[in-house]
Amino acid sequence: MGESGLSAGKPTIDDVAALSGVARATVSRVLNGGPNVREEVRQRVLKAVDKLQYKVNMQARFLAGGKTQVLGLIYASDLDSEPNSFYHSGLELGALRACALVGFQLLMHTVNQHSLSKTSKILELVDARRCDGLILTPPFSDDCDLLQELEARNCPVVCISPGLAAQKMASGVGIDDEVAGYEMARYMLQLGHKDFGFIKGLEGHLSAEERFSGFLRALAEAGIAESDVIVARGNFTFRSGVETTAAMLSHAKRPSALICANDDMAVGALFSAHKIGLQIPQDLSIVGFDDTPVSEIIWPPLTTVNQPLKAIGYRAVEMIVERIKAGKTASGPLPLRFDVVPHKVVMRESASPPQG
Amino acid sequence: MGESGLSAGKPTIDDVAALSGVARATVSRVLNGGPNVREEVRQRVLKAVDKLQYKVNMQARFLAGGKTQVLGLIYASDLDSEPNSFYHSGLELGALRACALVGFQLLMHTVNQHSLSKTSKILELVDARRCDGLILTPPFSDDCDLLQELEARNCPVVCISPGLAAQKMASGVGIDDEVAGYEMARYMLQLGHKDFGFIKGLEGHLSAEERFSGFLRALAEAGIAESDVIVARGNFTFRSGVETTAAMLSHAKRPSALICANDDMAVGALFSAHKIGLQIPQDLSIVGFDDTPVSEIIWPPLTTVNQPLKAIGYRAVEMIVERIKAGKTASGPLPLRFDVVPHKVVMRESASPPQG
DNA sequence: CCGACAATTGGTAGCGCTTTCAATATTGCC
DNA sequence: GGCAATATTGAAAGCGCTACCAATTGTCGG
């Protein structure tokens, strides 16, 4: 009953060629916008494509072409570490948006960062030709061994918020955490604070360390030594914020400003402070980093620094596609670069001048 | 300098065949765990694979085999609707975990649910042979037109929380929202509440509607008519929660219990109530749905119902892989099914007996 | 020791598309 | 009008792997 006696199943390029009376190669040309095709022929082919409802089989196209048009986005999954779902979602959304624009697909992949086979799990993706490039999020964006292996395979990579060492091995995108820490400290200093508390995050988490050193730099400029600030270490969770803050506030010398390495801990701090009857921000200013959704929902709304996650994810895709294309034209490898996207201190109500 | 004079570039199956002195087909057999290979030969091939660091090119394997071992996870992205990042992250994490186990990859894809081409955008994924099956999240899991197209293409699909109509067209996973609403209402009733307020979500959002009807059913059983409850409609956001609540509380007859269709709005309600000096839960009990991270961080911690997102995502992958395999063995299509995973009312501190 | 039958292994035709490379058709210019 | 240069089109060689089928080898029972 069909229009023509073509083979069953999905139409292939040959079906289109047959129907439009040209060679397979010609169909391929019009499909790929190649030059040198008479307009009349192009139309004929297009009509056949339309009539047959033909769709190229990417699987085949890429086998022939040696590419996949797929980008891998790698992120860590330990325990059920929900804490970062906000972070990853943001990056992913941005990446997805950019992908849609440039015609790539996004393959998600979680890897247990403590697994011994973490590196091979990731390499497998590129060795098996499942993707053309990788976007690495922390902590993988700092894994120099991994980066080296990827480099050896000539696989385009873009790191999200890589550390200094990693920045020398691959391109990256992120905010300038040191400056963010610096600015936040400046803001608090300017409010009049002199007694600081700082809750650090997990050891080895580079962004957080950077924020801390930026913070220290601002303090140093204001003549405050590191030894004058009460620092504690949490693990980025709400609970750890609650606990470290409770301990810190029972201290003889209570700070007037408490800076937390991320919002979840800041919210925990808020919770702890409320519990012992402190008024925020009158009795204690508390600020965080990240601008998670909670931070503006909590009472009082949290002063924090916003990191444009979607923009970062978006930019990462742009950068990697650029590298992939460059690799194709073989016009020499693109120089490494690190794009810093602007962060923003968002002032809400959890910080005010001391004893305000 | 290499071990043997093999071709440059990535080793192919032929290189392995050559090195181990067997035919390509035999290598393929050992690679795929095929039967009928002498142990001695198998070892020889394996050794060659190892020596060459050979990795199968999935691209090629799947072209030949007609599959991709890739699952597409579709979700909506309107505006910058962050609200659901928690929801999607949970599903994704669960799906990813299951994928790792069954050897599939997860391709993420966002589609603007209001776009005219939304259906074709999704179909393109399967038409272009980029994935073997699709996991649809709301609202796509309710799009019967889409489901029909997919059905026509014989593409395995699993819907997350589909509505009744969709359940008749494809398999699905989710909690029983109606029962969840019913249970929550029962709980509040049992606490002694008689005056209810309900903030609904966006029109047409099935899960939310179901929750509402379950709620109504419990009330009816207790002799309370729908007309006795003050209902308002929000759009699932924090902001809409604060606004609708503000309006509702200025009402002459103020409810003693306020049920919100999701946590974000409940948190907004909490915010609004606090603002006008109400004590929660003494003056007003407020509950939500979803058990988002915020709900246990807020003060007072929110009573809500937990939906095991990761388990749902995980199950969705299991189901779809099952269908894909069934399709392969062509032992007749698998019967449709809807798996309900258990939800849980989590009682925290935002609800108590009235005037408690 | 021989034919029947099962266990192995090799040969090879695709999967559906891109990409030279050669063949043919046009066009421009003296 | 004739020849080189240019625009079009077709033929065929893969991309790397799977799967079907034929060929080869080995194993038994009589």
Backbone φ and ψ for B345, nearest 5 degrees, come out as -80, 120
Pairwise pLDDT comparison (B179 vs A86), residue with the higher score:
B179
- Nucleotide in closest CA–C1' contact with B63: C15
Is the per-residue pLDDT at B283 higher than 80? yes
Do residue B40 and residue B142 come from a single domain? no
- Residues A344-354 have a mean pLDDT of 96
pLDDT of B342 over the 50 cut: yes
* pLDDT grade for A331, boundaries at 50, 70 and 90: low
- Indicate which CATH number applies to the domain containing B129: 3.40.50.2300
Distance CA A278, CA A197 (A): 15
Whether B157 sits with its Cβ under 7 A from any strand C atom: the answer reads no
Region A18-25: what's the mean pLDDT? 92
Task: Please give the angle made by the CA atoms of A274, A277 and A282, to the nearest 5 degrees.
Answer: 80
Note whether A195 and A294 are same-domain residues: yes
pLDDT tens digits, A193-219 = 999 999 999 887 888 899 999 999 999
Q: Is position B4 within any domain?
A: no
For the segment A74-86, the average pLDDT, to the nearest whole number, is: 72
Distance CA B338, CA B352 (A): 35
Q: Is residue B328 part of a domain?
A: yes
- Domain membership of residue B351 (yes or no) is no
Residues A220 and A168 placed together within one structural domain of the fold: no
At B353, the amino acid letter reads P
User: Which pLDDT value is given to residue A293?
Assistant: 86
Contact between residue A265 and residue A241 where contact means Cβ atoms under 8 Å apart: yes
Locus of tokens 């929000």? B234
**Share of residues in chain A with pLDDT > 70 (%):** 94
Q: In this structure, what token pair is assigned to residue A94?
A: 């941005």
Picking from A10, A13, A55, A58 by the largest number of B CB atoms within 10 A of its own CB, the best residue to mutate is: A58
Residue in this structure with the two tokens 């589909």, named with its chain if needed:
B162
Q: Does residue A28 lie within any of the structural domains?
A: yes
Could you tell me if residue A315 is inside a domain? yes
CB < 8 Å to A124, chain B: 55
Calculate the average pLDDT of chain A: 91
Whether residue B127 and residue A82 make contact (CB cut-off 8 A), yes or no, is no
Distance from CA of B20 to the nearest CA of A (A): 21
Q: Which residue has the tokens 């988002």?
A: B292
pLDDT tens-digit map of B91-142: 999 999 999 999 999 999 999 988 999 999 999 999 999 999 999 998 899 9
- C1' nearest to CA of B61: which nucleotide? D17
Question: Taking Cα atoms as reference points, which of A139, A261, A137 lies closest to residue A208?
Answer: A261
Q: How many residues does chain B have?
A: 356
CB contact under 8 A, B105 and A130: yes
A245 and A329 fall within a common domain = no
Residues 6 or more apart whose CB falls under 8 angstroms from that of A212 comprise: A181, A198, A200, A261
Burial annotation B112-143 (CB, 10 A radius, 16+ → b, else e): eeeeeebbebbbebbbbbbbbbbbbbbbbbbb
In contact, A16 and A54? CB cutoff 8 Å: yes
Q: Which helix (H) or strand (E) holds B103?
A: none
pLDDT at A270 over 80: yes
Name the residue among B276, B274, B209 with its Cα closest to residue B236.
B209
Q: Which of A82, A97, A299 sits opposite B293 (nearest CB)?
A: A82
- Read off the pLDDT of residues B289-332 as tens digits, 9 standing for 90 and up: 999 988 988 888 999 999 999 999 999 999 999 999 887 765 66
* Per-residue pLDDT, B83: 54
pLDDT at position B278 is 92
- CA B178 to C1' D9, in angstroms, rounded, equals 64
CB-based contact A305:A341 (threshold 8 Å): no
Structure confidence at residue B356 (pLDDT): 54
Q: Give the dihedral sign, CA B90/B96/B97/B102.
A: positive
Tell me: do B102 and B140 sit in the same domain: yes
The answer to whether the CB of A289 falls within 8 A of the CB of A264 is no
How many other CB atoms are found less than 10 A from the CB of residue A138? 23
In a domain, B349, yes or no: no
β-pair type (B304-306, B344-346):
antiparallel
Q: Which nucleotides of D are covered by protein (CB under 7 A)?
A: 7-12, 14-21
Q: Which residue has the higher pLDDT, B22 or A83?
A: B22
Query: Which residues in chain B touch residue A55, judged by CB atoms under 8 angstroms apart?
Result: 124, 127-128
Cis previous bond, A35, omega within 30: no
Residue A90 has pLDDT above 70, yes or no: yes
Pair A241, A292 in one domain: yes
Stated as kind and residue range, the H or E segment containing A105 is strand A105-111
B3 within domain boundaries: no
Residue B54: band (very low, low, confident or very high) from pLDDT cuts 50, 70, 90: very high
Orientation of helix A144-152 relative to helix A118-127, angle to 10°: 20
Q: b or e along A11-33 (b: 16 or more beta carbons within 10 Å of the residue's beta carbon)? A: bbbebbbbbbebeeebbbbbbee
Number of structural domains (chain A) is 3
If asked whether residues B302 and B315 sit together in one domain, one would say no
Is there a single domain that holds both residue B80 and residue B197? no
Q: What are phi and psi of B261, to 5 degrees?
A: -70, -15
| pLDDT score of A204 | 78
Quick check: B86 and A85 CB within 8 A? yes
Are B258 and B199 in contact by the 8 Å Cβ rule? The answer is yes
Provide, as residue numbers in chain B, all residues whose Cβ is less than 8 Å from the Cβ of A62: 59
Residue of A59, A107, A294 with shortest CB distance to B107: A107
On whether both A157 and A114 belong to a single domain, the answer is: yes
Q: Is residue B240 one of the residues assigned to a domain?
A: yes
CA dihedral B26, B27, B29, B33 (to 10 degrees): 140
pLDDT of residue B82: 56
As a whole number of angstroms, the distance between CA A279 and CA A266 comes to: 15
- Asked if A250 and A324 sit in the same domain, the reply is no
A102 and A24 inside one domain: no
Regarding whether A242 and A264 lie in a shared domain, the answer is yes
Of A196 and A328, the one with more pLDDT:
A196
- What are the Cα distances from residue B163, in Å, to A94, B170, B172? 29, 11, 9
Domain of A248 in residue numbering reads as 177-306
Instruction: Answer whether residue A92 shows pLDDT above 90.
Output: yes
Q: Are A86 and A304 in contact (CB under 8 A)?
A: no
Q: Which residues of A touch B10 (CB under 8 A)?
A: 127
pLDDT of A81: 53
Footprint of strand D on the protein (CB under 7 A): A 21-26, 29, 35-38, 40-41, 60, 63-64, 66; B 9-10, 12-14, 24-25, 28, 31-32, 54, 56-57, 59-61, 63-65
Region A270-293: what's the mean pLDDT? 93
